[in-house]
């Protein structure tokens, strides 16, 4: 990475020397920075190899680069050792942070607004119903149950998507691809803008909660629905916070993570370590210990294997598509 700036200045005509084509749901970065957050336990690697020349992501967004220049081309070799540069810079880093695929679009914001509205309407119905009837305990308890079950639901969904299907699976294909990409580049989630991160869940919540808002008025039901759906919708935000370095988090978020109200950085970090088969829940993580101790997901995997003949991804050695990309510097994280 340090060599790249030198190389760029030396060979400004060079376009992409290295193309990543594994995950095309977002503009594949032309180079990868090492994941930074608490999710990785891999030690930093030195960079004896020179030429990972990176380009601003913006240049690679629309079409895959097709030019591949052999890195061992003698004309590109320098007899001098790669310059050691200070980590102050990079052109590429800044542009990576500005990758359009991480930004929120108006459609994203619209879905988040609609999902949020359905949740708030449900919450309002619960509160007004509780006020009218004078009973608060049941709606509140229902809300607690919703919060607890949202965590379980997040784990089951996450387990399914992480282990089965691929980008061609109907309905879930894009999600599956996104999850695989997340495992390869876990830190990208911390660079997504808010609505960009949440819009897919917000859309699901909109479709699910709207009929309930229209049909039902029971405050207890809405106590459950509003909290459960709200937690599910915001689970991606909790997930992003679990990937963020502590120093960058608001103290309140850290406090909630430490208290176990939100999934903690360390707990979620364990999910991002091989064999990637534990700690699937990402709302509060309260179910993780139970599910992992009693091997619930392993049992489900065994049943699916014997009944349907399908093996989950976590049973195999992780492929390069899955393994976290650590061949990068930690610069992004520190910015």
Partner 1 sequence: MASIPLPTAKHSLPSLLHAQTPKTLLSQKLPNLPKSFQSQFCGVKLSHSSNFAVPSSFKKSSILAKVSKGSVAPSFSLKDQDGKTVSLSKFKGKPVVVYFYPADETPGCTKQACAFRDSYEKFKKAGAEVIGISGDDPSSHKAFAKKYRLPFTLLSDEGNKVRKDWGVPADLFGTLPGRQTYVLDKNGVVQLIYNNQFQPEKHIDETLKFLQSA
Residues in the chain: 335
Using the minimum distance from each CB to partner 1, give the nearer residue, 196 or 278.
278
Using the minimum distance from each CB to partner 1, give the nearer residue, 207 or 305.
305
Which positions from 55 through 84 interact with partner 1, judged by CB under 8 A?
A: none
Q: Could you count the other beta carbons within 10 Å of the beta carbon of residue 63?
A: 7
Using the minimum distance from each CB to partner 1, give the nearer residue, 144 or 303.
303
Q: Which of 74, 170, 171, 306 binds partner 1 (CB under 8 A)?
A: 306
User: How many residues contact partner 1, by CB under 8 A?
Assistant: 13
Cβ contact 30:18 at 8 Å = yes
**What distance in Å separates the CA atoms of residue 286 and residue 303, rounded to the nearest whole number?**
24
Cα 201 to chain centroid distance, Å, stands at 12
Verify binding: residue 302, partner 1, rule CB under 8 A.
yes
**What distance in Å separates the CA atoms of residue 247 and residue 277, rounded to the nearest whole number?**
28
Q: Tokens at residue 2, please? A: 């340090």
Verify binding: residue 310, partner 1, rule CB under 8 A.
no
Cβ neighbours for 121, distance < 8 A, ≥ 6 positions apart:
209, 213
The DSSP 8-state label assigned to residue 33 in this structure reads P
CB of 288 to partner 1, least distance (A): 17
Q: Which of 305, 310, 319, 334 binds partner 1 (CB under 8 A)?
A: 305
Using the minimum distance from each CB to partner 1, give the nearer residue, 99 or 301.
301
Cβ contact 102:58 at 8 Å = no
CA proximity to 14, closest of 58, 61, 70, 62: 70
Verify binding: residue 294, partner 1, rule CB under 8 A.
yes
Cβ neighbours for 64, distance < 8 A, ≥ 6 positions apart:
19, 21, 24, 28
Verify binding: residue 273, partner 1, rule CB under 8 A.
no
Q: Could you count the other beta carbons within 10 Å of the beta carbon of residue 277?
A: 20
Q: Which of 131, 259, 303, 310 binds partner 1 (CB under 8 A)?
A: 303
Verify binding: residue 295, partner 1, rule CB under 8 A.
yes
CA proximity to 117, closest of 192, 207, 196, 193: 207
Using the minimum distance from each CB to partner 1, give the nearer residue, 207 or 315.
315
Cβ contact 54:331 at 8 Å = no
CB of 303 to partner 1, least distance (A): 5
Q: Could you tell me which stretch among 126-134, 181-189, 225-233, 297-305 binds partner 1 (CB under 8 A)?
A: 297-305
Using the minimum distance from each CB to partner 1, give the nearer residue, 13 or 307.
307
Q: Tokens at residue 165, please? A: 């299907």
Using the minimum distance from each CB to partner 1, give the nearer residue, 76 or 286.
286
Which positions from 13 through 42 interact with partner 1, judged by CB under 8 A?
A: none
Q: Could you tell me which stretch among 7-15, 39-47, 192-200, 293-301 binds partner 1 (CB under 8 A)?
A: 293-301
Q: Tokens at residue 178, please? A: 């996104």
Verify binding: residue 290, partner 1, rule CB under 8 A.
no
Residues that bind partner 1 (CB under 8 A): 277, 294-295, 298-299, 301-303, 305-307, 311, 315
């Amino acid at each position: 990475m340090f060599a790249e700036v030198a190389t760029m200045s030396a060979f400004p005509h060079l376009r992409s020397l290295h193309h990543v084509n594994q995950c095309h749901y977002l503009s594949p970065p032309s180079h990868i920075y090492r994941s930074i957050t608490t999710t990785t336990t891999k030690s930093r690697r030195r960079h004896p190899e020179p030429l990972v020349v990176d380009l601003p992501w913006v240049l690679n967004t629309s079409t895959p680069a097709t030019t591949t220049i052999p890195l061992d081309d003698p004309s590109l070799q320098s007899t001098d050792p790669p310059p050691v540069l200070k980590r102050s810079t990079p052109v590429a880093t800044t542009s990576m942070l500005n990758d359009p695929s991480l930004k929120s679009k108006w459609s994203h914001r619209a879905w988040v607004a609609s999902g949020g509205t359905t949740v708030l309407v449900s919450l309002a119905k619960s509160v007004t119903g509780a006020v009218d009837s004078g009973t608060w305990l049941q709606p509140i308890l229902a809300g607690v149950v919703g919060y607890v079950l949202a965590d379980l639901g997040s784990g089951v969904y996450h387990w399914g998507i992480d282990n089965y299907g691929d980008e061609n699976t109907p309905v879930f294909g894009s999600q599956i691809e996104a999850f695989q990409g997340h495992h390869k580049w876990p830190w990208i989630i911390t660079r997504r803008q808010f609505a960009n991160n949440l819009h897919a869940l917000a859309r699901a919540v909109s479709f699910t909660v709207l009929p309930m808002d229209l049909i039902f008025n029971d405050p207890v039901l809405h106590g459950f629905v509003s909290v459960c759906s709200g937690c599910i919708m915001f689970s991606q935000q909790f997930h992003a916070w679990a990937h963020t370095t502590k120093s960058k988090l608001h103290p309140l978020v850290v406090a909630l993570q430490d208290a176990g109200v939100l999934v903690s950085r360390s707990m979620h970090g364990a999910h991002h370590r091989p064999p990637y088969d534990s700690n699937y829940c990402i709302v509060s993580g309260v179910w993780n210990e139970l599910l992992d101790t009693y091997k619930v997901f392993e049992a489900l995997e065994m049943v699916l294997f014997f009944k349907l003949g399908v093996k989950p991804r976590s049973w195999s050695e992780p492929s390069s598509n899955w393994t976290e990309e650590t061949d990068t510097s930690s610069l992004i994280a520190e910015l």
